[in-house]
Amino acid sequence: MKRTISLLSILNSALFLAAAQATAGILVQDSFSGATVNSGGTGWQPWSNWNGSVIFGSNLSFGTLQTSGQAMINTDQYGGVSREFPSISSGTVWFSWVQSNNAATNVAARVNIMKEGATKFRIGQKKDETDTSFHIYDSSGLSVVNTGVSNNGTHMVAGSINLDTGEVTLYIDPTGLGLGAAPSSAATASYTFAAMQIGEFSLTTGDSNFVFDEVRVGESWADVSPTGAADTTPPSWTSGFPKADTATTEGFTPRLQINEGGTGYYVVVANNATAPSVAQVKAGHDSSSSGALRAGNLPLVSNAENSSVVTGLSAATDFDVYFVATDSAGNNQSSTTLVEISTIADSSNGLVTFRMANGLASDGSQDLTTPAADGVSNLQKYAFNMIGGETGQAATLSVPNVSVLAASDTAGLPRVGRESGTGKLQLTYIRRKVISNPGITYSVQFSNNLGISDPWAANPSASESMVPLDATFERVTLTDSSAASTARFARVMVSGL
């Protein structure tokens, strides 16, 4: 029976180059040493974790190869798992992994090298193949090289791919780990395909006897065959990092720096939100495993700052930013780091400026309060120009002010009366000009019975006249379309944007 494990990559070569610079040669690495089998390693896309029915297996070893963590086994004979990393389109790239297999079962145990679902070539044993040697297969599954080396037991598989020419050089159980430009042992096999791009490993295995471990993709032989004790120490933030600064009306700049090569991650969540876990931050999630307000990751080299720009947030608002870092060996920091940041107020919005000048909450939660206990809200006093030292105004919000606009004044609550000669209902009020970006809207509405059975609504047939007062204000009079035979009412609705 067959199951497929896919390592899918669909991103561009620019990201590949960034990863190469950040990790000093190692592009992708997984020793399955994370908190779960799904989330370890480095070089993977931050949103991509192993999924499917995978479990930890015992760590595989090969000679002096540097190993750590555990290994991966897929227990679902029919399902598959995938994990993405940046695709590679030019130059020469090296790969290696350690595998353990029981070739006597005559079931599939091969690795397909692919790009966006299209097979480029395959290494291993084809399903139901009577010859259990390592083969190189072409994209159609035809064996083009039989190495004669049995894939039974534990082996290190390594090789290089010249993506510009399509030449693949394969080494089974190479020697000279970590040294020179290539293994000291002769190549097991080679074959030249057409020029290619790669971005996917697809493991095809028939049952759970196949164990996969120590996956590496790098720029050189030494990158994919390190020796000595494995790095098990998580990275540390250098002094003063991480930080968030350079706040704007819609964002800020996160800055990260650690003591070794790796990747830094961050998420932006609401102020005082529950802290997300390390795995959630790496996935770009909040504490509920939903997408954070904003999230990102940055490649990091030793003791060098890298930064990004976050945009699209609300002005004059407090946010929490959680950071975590992973080194090139896949060691995660044990906990996240919180940094608080506040976006600045949009000074072009009159309502925001009014809130700041009067000590009101930036989120508008105090707009409808009445600190003077006069029944007139803070928002109404802003809308109708009722703060100041002129007629119809009071010095502060805490001073009672129920002034009604006089005929030729510039401040006060709306005035209601009848048009001379027609008896039509008229409402006159002070309005902030749209050109001043007031941050509010006005809506004059009419009703015959205060909305009891006749809903409040604008009257598109009403006529409007306007008198400019200054650069910010105008005095507006709205005249109803007909004289009321019984009762008629009018009001001004003011809403913050």
Confidence of residue 344 (pLDDT cuts 50, 70, 90): confident
* 44-58, 127-141, 165-179, range with greatest mean pLDDT: 165-179
Question: For position 103, what pLDDT does the model report?
Answer: 57
Confidence of residue 388 (pLDDT cuts 50, 70, 90): very high
Q: Is 40 buried (19+), middle (13-18) or exposed (0-12) by CB count in 10 A?
A: buried
Quick check: 182 pLDDT over 80?
Answer: yes
Q: Percent of the chain beyond pLDDT 90?
A: 64
CA distance from start to end of the chain: 61
Question: For position 86, what pLDDT does the model report?
Answer: 84
Region 260-284 average pLDDT: 95
Confidence of residue 185 (pLDDT cuts 50, 70, 90): very high
State pLDDT tens for residues 199-235.
887 777 766 678 889 999 999 999 999 998 777 899 9
Quick check: 3 pLDDT over 70?
Answer: no
Q: Percent of the chain beyond pLDDT 70?
A: 91
Question: For position 406, what pLDDT does the model report?
Answer: 92
Whole-angstrom Cα Rg for the chain? 34
Instruction: Give me the chain's average pLDDT, please.
Output: 87
Question: For position 11, what pLDDT does the model report?
Answer: 26
Kindly report the pTM of this predicted structure: 0.50
Question: For position 23, what pLDDT does the model report?
Answer: 38
Higher pLDDT, 65 or 76: 65
State pLDDT tens for residues 411-462.
999 999 999 999 999 999 999 999 888 999 999 999 999 999 999 999 999 9
Question: For position 228, what pLDDT does the model report?
Answer: 81
Confidence of residue 338 (pLDDT cuts 50, 70, 90): very high
Residues 6 or more apart whose CB falls under 8 angstroms from that of 211 comprise 57, 58, 60, 71, 72, 73, 99, 100, 101
Other CB atoms within a 10 A radius of the CB of residue 305 amount to 16
Region 242-261 average pLDDT: 95
Region 385-399 average pLDDT: 96
Q: Which residues pair with 268 in a beta bridge?
A: 294, 321
d(C-alpha 36, C-alpha 50), whole Å:
9
Question: For position 371, what pLDDT does the model report?
Answer: 96
State pLDDT tens for residues 299-326.
999 999 999 999 999 888 899 999 999 9
State pLDDT tens for residues 97-155.
999 886 555 566 788 888 877 889 999 887 666 778 899 999 998 999 999 998 888 99
Quick check: 399 pLDDT over 70?
Answer: yes
Confidence of residue 10 (pLDDT cuts 50, 70, 90): very low
Q: In the numeric block, which tokens belong to residue 325? A: 């870092």
> Structural domains in the chain?
3-224 (2.60.120.200), 243-342 (2.60.40.4070), 350-496 (no CATH)
Quick check: 24 pLDDT over 70?
Answer: no
Distances in Å between the Cα of 397 and the Cα atoms of 365, 370, 494 are 15, 8, 17
